[in-house]
Structure formats: C-alpha cells, structure tokens
Structure 1
Amino acid sequence: MQINDKSGYKKYYAAEDRYEQVPFKRCGHSGIQLPMISLGLWHNFGHADDLLKAQNILRTAFDLGVVHFDLANNYGPPFGAAETNFGRLFNEDFLPYRDELFISSKAGYDMWPGPYGNLGSRKYLISSLDQSLKRMNLDYVDLFYHHRPDPDTPLEETMGALDHIVRSGKALYVGISNYPADLAEKAIKILNELGTPCLIHQARYSMFDRWVEDGLLDVLDQYGVGCIAFSPLEQGMLTNKYVHGIPEDSRAAKGMTYLQREAVEQKLEAIKALHQVASDRGQSLSEMAIAWLLKDQRLTSVLVGVSTPDQLKANVNGLTNLEFSADELQAIRKVLEA
C-alpha cells in the first residue's frame, strides 16, 4: 500500500489485511511460525538491479504476509550488495514493522580474500555476521545459518560459534544449510547439548531434486527441526516458461549460471507431462510444484525468488490448493521416476 505525500514520494503503509493472505506453519518443535511462502533475496537485489523494482517486491511480500526475508553475506552481485540494498529499503519502509519481520542471513561460502573469509571457522562466522548487521542496519537477525558444511573445521567449533552468536544477542535462532543427513544429525546433537537448538535446515528441494528424501527429512522430523526448501522451481524449469520449448529470451537459452540449455532439454518431456497434471488440477506448473513440496508436513516453508511482484502473487496462489488425490500423486510419481 502506497500513499503519496506532497513531494511525490510514495510512503509505504502495510496492508491491514496482511495476515489474511498466506498461512503460517510451526517450525519444527519451536515457538516460531513461518509463512508457507518465504522470500529469498539471492537474485534481483544486487547493485546491478533496479532498486525500485526490489522495493516493490518487498512491499508486495509484506502486504501478502510474507514476513520472512532470507539473505546471505555474499548475495549480490557484488558480494554484500543484497544486504546493503535491503538495509536501505528496511530503513525506508520497514523500520516500524521490525518486530513483525523474520530476517535471516548466512555465512559459509567465499566472501573476502584470505583464510578467514570462507567456510566454517568461528572467526569467519562471527566476523561475517558483524559485517552483515552493519550492511542491513540491524541490531540482530532473527535467524543465522551456517551456509554449508566445512570438511576441515571441527563441527564443534562451527556449532559453538552459532551458539555464541545467539548468546551474544546477534541472532535469535540458528540453522544449517546444505548439510547431508548424517552431518546434520551430528550438528543438531551438538547444538542441543550446547542449549541452542537448531531451528531449521535450508535445503535445495524440488520435484527434480529430491535428495532430501534420502534420510534428511527423517532426521529433521526426529529432532523437531524445521525445513525450508530453496530452488523449489528448479531455476524456472518448473514453470510454464518451458512447456513449449526453450524461449530465446529465457535464462536457459542464454546459458546463464545455474540453468543450462542441456539441463532443460533433458527435462522437457517431464515438464510437459507435469504441466498437464497441473492444468487438470486448475493450477500453473509453478503453483503445483510449490504445493507438491508443501504437502509434506515436514516442510515448514518454501523459499522463492522473484523478479516481479506478480510472480510472487502467483507463487502465493499455489497455496490455495495443497491437496493431492491418489491419482494425481501417482501421475506425478510416474513422471518423476521415468
């Protein structure tokens, strides 16, 4: 919701019905509930992007009740840019609503030169979060993740750093991301022993990438840890964009990072078949792909990245039909296992 003042600036006032749009779901055994759709700032919030468009996306999200904004230290480009831009927009629009927002960031991938700007040491994690808080103009984040496992740093050191971060007041909760099932279980046990339980695991999960089903979801369920899925649309493959082939203006046609033409070509028949199932359900393929993930009670939320407010609205629309018949599930299973 926007209101013009005398200078022409459109001051933001949040929609009064913002909690009537997106359902919330409890995160594991914690006291936290998250919207079933969360907004990721991985793309479209860097210095090369349109800041006004980014502002409109954030405003639309909050008006819909999507109160969880997910960042990381190296989102951009360049590294840190998404957090810097978010900090500007937070001060401009969302400062009055800070206690309604659930803001997360991460560290674990390459961020600055030298041995202290990567992976999982105590020095890197604490320093990185300090930098993130400055960029975002925040006193604390609601959730801080270790972004990926570190094969060399002792897990006790990494988890100990997360525990320290919570006890220092720089984060309210901590989580892990991209951890395989066995390592996730070890990390969760260490955090439990330290008295700072793991809130959530962020994992890549979609119809075309189901590795979390091989034990990870069972581990998280056993220990009462939530799960949030990123890349639920497989970089756009699970949308209507590729139903009739590869458009010349698409990410796959341009060979952009994370989505190559060959990968889409290998999935074209599956995309078409899944699109037909979605159409029969009265949904777009992207709506069904999100609903298919959220049908699993072990999933807390689905993390989406969008380039327009309308894309976000379409993703939210997928929450209107989360029920699947046995025949629909069988049809989907047949496609995915082909």
Structure 2
Amino acid sequence: MKKLLPTSTAGSLPKPSWLAQPEVLWSPWKLQGDELLQGKQDALRLSLLDQLQAGIDIVSDGEQTRQHFVTTFIEHLSGVDFNQRKTVRIRNRYDASVPVVVDAVARQKPVFVEDARFLRQQTTQPIKWALPGPMTMIDTLFDDHYKSREQLAWEFAKILNQEALELEAAGVDIIQFDEPAFNVFFDEVNDWGIAALERATQGLKCETAVHICYGYGIKANTDWKQTLGSEWRQYEQVFPKLQQSGIDIVSLECQNSRVPMELIELIRGKKVMVGAIDVATHRIETPEEVASTLRKALKYVDADKLYPCTNCGMAPLPKAVATGKLQALTAGAAIVREELSR
C-alpha cells in the first residue's frame, strides 16, 4: 500500500565544508579532478543518509554535485559563452553578471545522468531529480543569438527533454522542473511558458513536477517579499492553465508565506507538494507547526495527493538547521497521517 503524505525536499541541501564553502550559494569547489568527482559522490551519499535518517520518503541528491540549480546544467551545453559576461536583471529582482548565448544551444552529452544512476544504486526509496525549467534558464542568461525569449525557451525545452528521458531510464521516479520565473512573468507563462514546460516532459512515463517558489532565503528575495503586500496571489495567475497541463505534481511555498491557501483549489486534481518548511529562517519549525500547515492544505487537496515538502532549497542554511527542519517535516507529516488514519 502506498504511503499517505510521502515527504520530500524541494531540492538542495547544505554541502559539507570539505566540498564547498557552507551557507553560500554558488560556492566554488574546494577539490578538483578525480578528488572532486569522489568528493561529490561522498557528499551525495551523506546527503542521502541525512534524508533517510530524518525519515524523508522521496529522496534526492540534495544537489550535491552542482554549484547552482540553473547554471550547472547550462555549463554543459554548447552555444553559451561563460567567459563573456553581461549584466541582466534576474526575475526583476536583482542584477547579476551572466553568460552569453552566442550560438545555437545544444546538449553534447548527458549532464546529470551518471549522478542519478549513482543515487539509484544507493537506495530503494523513490527518487526525485530536479532540473531547471526552460523559462528560469532563459532568465539567467544574456541572449545574443536567438534574440527571442520564447525561441530560446523552446530550444532549452528540447534539450531538457533529452536529459529527462535519460534520467528516467537511469531509474528516476519523479523529474521536477524548477520554475521560480513562473511567479514573475505571468503573461509569458500563460502564452508559452507552460507549453515549453510540457515540451520538456514529452514522452516521459515517470511522474513530472513543477516547483514554483518565492526563492531561496537570500536577501534579494526576502527584500522582494516585503514589497508583495499582505497577500501573495502570484499563483492565481498561472494555476488555472497549469491545472489543464499534463504536469502531474505542483510544488509550492506555504510555510510562513502570505500565499492564501485556497489558491490550491485552482489546481484541484493535481498532486501538490506543499511547502511546510520555511527556508528563509534558521528557526526550526515544531512538528505541530508543520502539521497545522498540512491540515490547512487538506481543505483544498485530497489526502492521497498531498506531499509534504520544503518551501525551496536549503543550500544556504547551516547543516544542523537543515537536518532539524527535515526531522520537523517528517514528524509533522506523521501527526497528520495518524489523524487521517483514525
């Protein structure tokens, strides 16, 4: 019998200090060559062990083998010049120096497939693998070739699809596409963003998920959240069309956010990964706080479709905090699971 309320994480978990500088996004590797390869695999095993010991049901690589959830994928593609940089506005929030698209983009070889195969060998639990979504990828680049956000997104969607099909063949159970850009560019999401996302999932038989959040707990994001008013209704713009899409699971941010819970009703019928852990604070939730968030969500999503999760990745958090939050997530889910079984 399938477990009710299976827990998972949105993606990244802290890296060990011997691999990269802790609590820093985009932290450079401390090892190189074969040592780096071995170090990444050791970190992946440790991250998996942390998840299993905390009782997480759907496990991941904790993104131990990548520096950044978007750029690490793009680094492996041709057509993008990482030595040439231009400044762009990321998700209308902050300026960043980014690589330039100088030619047609293409995937010469698999990017994460070996890592996924390695993870699959380590566990019998269901595994989830995260890839950047097409719209979020174009938002982290300067396009000097296609000169069309939409066209570049479609090219990335085809490339992501090649990778996703090979990840599925390597034994991945859920492929998640990270699309924080869906909370910003509403017209584009509805015009072609969801269609491009579906192109990335074409032909997949495993489950597919889209993760839409308000970002890591970094200053640029927390400052932006302060400007959003008393209710965050961004999801309202994209959920109706997402509900009509072929994506199986929608992953969203609910803990300590001002997202009105009733917006989940707009994706009725989909499985929902409910973010019940706030990644923008070092305070560890109590199991009861997690349970309370899940109970509120249950008014709008059937119990067999609710997957307790974290709001976003936890790479910038201290390891002890992240571990405590994972334990709170599983303990909170257990409380509600018990209530549902009565």
Q: TM-score, normalised by structure 1?
A: 0.42
Q: Computing the radius of gyration over CA atoms, which structure comes out larger, 1 or 2?
A: 1
